[in-house]
A and B are shown apart, each in its own frame.
Chain A
Amino acid sequence: MIFYSIMPQEIVFANFDQMNNRELREISMGAVTMLVEPTGPFEGQIVRLISPNPQDYLNPQLSPGQKISFHPSVTE
């Protein structure tokens, strides 16, 4: 990575080694797969969306940062 910014590197990368590795879970809802940071037993915050349908990325309910609740279900 080449860093090209007016911000000094020392400021941008301060605390870089202390960044805690978040535990992310991959969750599928219909055709949409997302990386979710769990905030509770069955709820979490969307970190990244993985979908082959570009329109999903325009859905505000699926935008990163949204809280979602999910329950496991059995599909045949």
Chain B
Amino acid sequence: MSINQYLQQLSKAPINNNGQEPEQPAPQTAPAPPVVPAETPSVAGDEAKKRIVDTITQLGQTNVPQLESNIYCLSIIGQVEGHIQLPPQNKTTKYEHLIPQLVAAEQNSKIEGVLVILNTVGGDVEAGLAIAEMVASISKPVVTLVLGGGHSIGVPIAVAGSYSFIAETATMTIHPIRLTGLVIGVPQTFEYLDKMQDRVVNFIARHSKITEEQFKDLMLRTGELTRDIGTNVIGADAVKYGLIDEVGGLGKALNKLNELIEQRRGEKVLQ
């Protein structure tokens, strides 16, 4: 599909799928009327369209984070990219871009809460844990929402916030850390991997209601995944195990975030 066809579809279809008003209208789309009348080809409309095309080609999406909002939305998609740049067929979230943004979100007084949206297949352990620790140590309320998937190293990021949500159909794959395709020959290597795995397991146990034992049990379970050991937990199951706080979507997540922001404002007034 060409970009022009995509744009036409964009102007026809409503942006959100819930039938509700979009929470944050994208700054690029706002000035342009959805359908530009053919007889008055306005310069402003063309300009806006060009900007949308630019945004799509540059970021692969039509909207970018808005500064005026009091919440900061962070999306973690595709592979979490760390020290090694992945080949271009991967869609990646680069941690060196996210970390200063989280610093800015913490420091900026206009930002009162952070919404983290996850749809990731995993990635670099170091980078993933770095993001998770940053999210966990923000003093402002953070609500995480797992949409689609929050697999592997996405699990610690998903549990790092003040409150976590998972969409009903979203899944999280919990499996051991190992070097795929390589034979582990020496005991030291295995111990090293085991230590890395403990870092992840400890973090998850500390930041969610699941116990270390139960998480390891899910991680090492056989007969659930076809090509691997581990478990695939879907929506309500993740809540049942105590990994995630609640099943819900965007509306619930934003409501909870606003509630936490109000609560924090109240605490500030008391002080």
Q: Is chain B a partner of chain A in the same complex?
A: yes
Bound: A64/B18 CA distance, A: 31
Alpha-carbon distance between A2 and B90 when the two chains are bound, in angstroms = 17
> In the complex the two chains form, is A60's CB within 8 Å of B88's CB?
no
Main secondary structure of the interface of B (DSSP, over half): mixed
State A58–B71 Cα separation when bound (angstroms): 12
Size of the B side of the interface (Cβ < 8 Å), in residues, is 47
Q: Number of A residues contacting the other chain (C-beta, 8 Å)? A: 33
In the complex, the answer to whether B100 meets A60 with C-beta atoms within 8 Å is no
User: Are the CB atoms of B90 and A12 closer together than 8 Å?
Assistant: yes
A13 located at the interface, meaning its Cβ lies under 8 Å from any Cβ of chain B in the complex: yes
Interface assignment of B10: CB less than 8 Å from any CB of chain A: no
Chain B residues near A13 (CB-CB < 8 A)? 86-87
CB-contacts of A48-68 with B (<8 A): 48-49, 51, 54-58, 60, 63-67
Partner of B181, one of A7, A10, A16, A45: A10
Does A1 sit within 8 A of B, measured CB to CB?
yes
Q: Is the CB of B108 within 8 A of A5?
A: no
CA distance A32 to B200 in the complex (A): 35
Residues of B within 8 A of A9 (CB): 180-181
- Tell me if A31 is interfacial: C-beta within 8 Å of chain B: no
Q: How far is the CA of A63 from the CA of B104 in the complex (A)?
A: 13
Cα A4 to Cα B173 with chains together (Å): 11
- Mask: chain B, 115-134; 1 = CB below 8 Å from A; 0 = not: 00000011111101000000
B84-98: which residues lie under 8 A (CB-CB) from chain A? 84-90, 94, 96-97
- Sampled A-B contacts (12; CB under 8 Å): A5-B151, A5-B153, A6-B175, A9-B181, A49-B97, A49-B100, A55-B104, A55-B108, A58-B72, A60-B65, A64-B97, A67-B54
For the complex of A and B, list the 9 residue pairs with the smallest distance between their C-beta atoms, beginning with the closest. A5-B122, A54-B104, A65-B58, A57-B100, A9-B180, A2-B125, A54-B103, A6-B151, A15-B87
B residues within 8 Å of A by Cβ?
54, 58-59, 64-65, 67, 72, 79, 82-90, 94, 96-97, 100-101, 103-105, 107-108, 121-126, 128, 149, 151-153, 173, 175, 177, 179-181, 193, 196, 200
